[in-house]
Structure 1
Amino acid sequence: MNTFLKMSRIALCFLFVLCFSPESFAQSKPAFKAIAFYTGKNDKAHVSYVHEANGWFAKTAQQYHFVYDSTNNWSNLNADFLSKYQVVIFLDTRPEAPEQREAFQKYMENGGAWMGFHFAAFALTPSQYPQNWDWYHNQFIGAGQYKSNTWRPTSAILRVEDRKHPSTKHLPQTFKTTPNEWYRWEKDLRLNPDIKILASIDSTSFPLGTGPKLHEIWHNGYYPVVWTNKKYKMLYINMGHNDIDYANKTDKELSFTFESDTQNQLVIDGLFWLGTGKPAKKR
């Protein structure tokens, strides 16, 4: 065999080892798998957000190398289906069937992870979504029932209360959000030792909301918008309501949730903390 052929074989062997080394396999394996549940009905602002979120998460999954699946079939909320995923996301509502609720509670109590947005925490009795799930609203999320909201959707300045947490470590002390409908809750989360508030509305945001009703404009008060329950791997984020032109009855989308790089960093780092225990590597 001549020298050229020997060198060619050596080069091919080296290339094979390089391409199929354990390191290369590790790089091809996704960081984690996330499954998002959504309903996507009724309020056009929530439907707009759900469509936007599914597109944004799918694109972000490709960029950051994790798996993102989504479904509007809540019957998939069962032990066998959930066992395939490290993170569950509720984009808008919550499960209603007792067996679905039981499966989710067991998933979380056995080390599963959850990220919930905006309406996923909503509960109001009487309404289409009454407070009839004490574990979820009172213990897990900890906020109890919905009390009121700002209107119309407006941007707010958020103050990060814990910049050492993996989900907030890449954030500035304060940052401006995209427009949102902000919720006020029944329970004072500051009094719950299990709740760690990560971000709240900064006083420079006031007045917050434009009305037309006076009670829809907040002038003072303390309003947490991002928090975790220390007993679980979970993160609730109050954002998730796009602005829609209801006033002129055009139903035109006037704002989108994922148009802020800083706010998006919170979601990405929060997701990676839930899925891997660490924030994402900045790209």
Structure 2
Amino acid sequence: MIHSVKFKRVLFSIGVFVAICFCTFTYAQAQSPKFKVIAFYTAKNDRAHISYVHEANKWFPKIAQQYNFTYDSTSNWDNLNTKFLSQYQVVLFLDTRPEAPAQREAFRQYMENGGAWMGFHFAAFALNNSAFNQDWDWYHNDFLGSGEYKSNTWRPTSAILRVEAQKHPATKHLPETFKSSPNEWYRWKNDLKANPDIEILMSIDSSSFPLGTGPKPHEIWHSGYYPVVWTNKNYKMIYLNMGHNDIDYEGKTNKELSFTLANDTQNQFLIDALLWLGNGKKVKYNKRK
């Protein structure tokens, strides 16, 4: 009888131990991040872009904690190398692009080997005879598809955006149209709609016109078709034109007048886009001949 009681106690202890181990393992699994994000930025030119970078580097860590991924950021573009990038499933360009040939090649290889990317606003900017020449054909023509910058609206204003691909994982929770945060809107040299590799996710709805306040007439758009968010179907990527906060330049106070991430609908898109980029499912890369 004594042996039987001892045996039952041993079995009970083993059961408790197994249950604790299982719960610990399950908790560890639940807490391990789904994916890792690294954001590159420069934050040296244009107060509006610097403001957005600071805003993003406060907002994304909160979202990462909420949705169980990790968010790191760096202003050291030399980290754009194969060894460093191998630690991350998603790369963000918050305000600029890499300039050094080795950095550019590492990024191209990362994307062609199944990496994921999201770029904001000035990350797509290129204009010959400027500080950011169009000297990277793969990135601007093949990858982004947009080519050179052509013009922009001014002042930063909200636009009504039309969701053109409502079945895409990044736009699945969006209404047909919604009002964006204020932004400086770009247009591009290349016709993105004519590019079979490009899927346009959002464009400026015609109800937005006139868009911009000037004072220069060409800074106000009265008509036309302007894609503002798109993906290249050959890569796991999304570019969005947002990322330029409004700053009081005219009054010379440099006060922040608007914030990109103060818009719940737009933020839902960013969250869904990041979760899609980090879900581990790779897009089959179709190398051009």
TM-score range, shorter chain: over 0.9
1:35 Cα deviation (Å)?
0.3
Structure 1 unmatched runs, 5+: 279-283
Name the structure 2 match of 1:255.
258
Q: % of aligned pairs identical?
A: 70
Q: 2:20 aligns with which of 9, 16, 19?
A: 16
The alignment partner of 1:244 has SS state of coil
CA deviation string 1:93-135 (max 9, x = no partner) = 0000000000000000010111000000000011111100000
User: TM-score, normalising length from structure 1?
Assistant: 0.94
CA distance, structure 2, for counterparts of residue 265 and residue 19 of structure 1: 32
Q: Match for 1:153: what amino acid?
A: P
1:48 Cα deviation (Å)?
0.2
Q: Match for 2:182: what amino acid?
A: P
Count of aligned residue pairs for this structure pair: 277
The alignment partner of 2:278 has SS state of helix
The alignment partner of 1:81 has SS state of helix
Q: Match for 1:235: what amino acid?
A: I
User: TM-score, normalising length from structure 2?
Assistant: 0.92
The alignment partner of 1:276 has SS state of coil
Q: Match for 1:46: what amino acid?
A: H
RMSD of equivalent CA atoms: 1.8
Q: Match for 1:266: what amino acid?
A: F
CA deviation string 1:193-233 (max 9, x = no partner) = 00000000000111111111111011100000000000001
Name the structure 2 match of 1:184.
187
Name the structure 2 match of 1:281.
none
Structure 2 unmatched runs, 5+: 282-289
CA distance, structure 1, for counterparts of residue 280 and residue 79 of structure 2: 25
The alignment partner of 1:39 has SS state of coil
Superposition pairs of residues 147-166 of structure 1, within 5 angstroms: 147-166=150-169
CA deviation string 1:20-47 (max 9, x = no partner) = 24x4332111110010000001200000
1:18 Cα deviation (Å)?
4.2
Q: Which has the larger radius of gyration?
A: 2
CA distance, structure 2, for counterparts of residue 11 and residue 153 of structure 1: 64
Q: Match for 2:81: what amino acid?
A: N
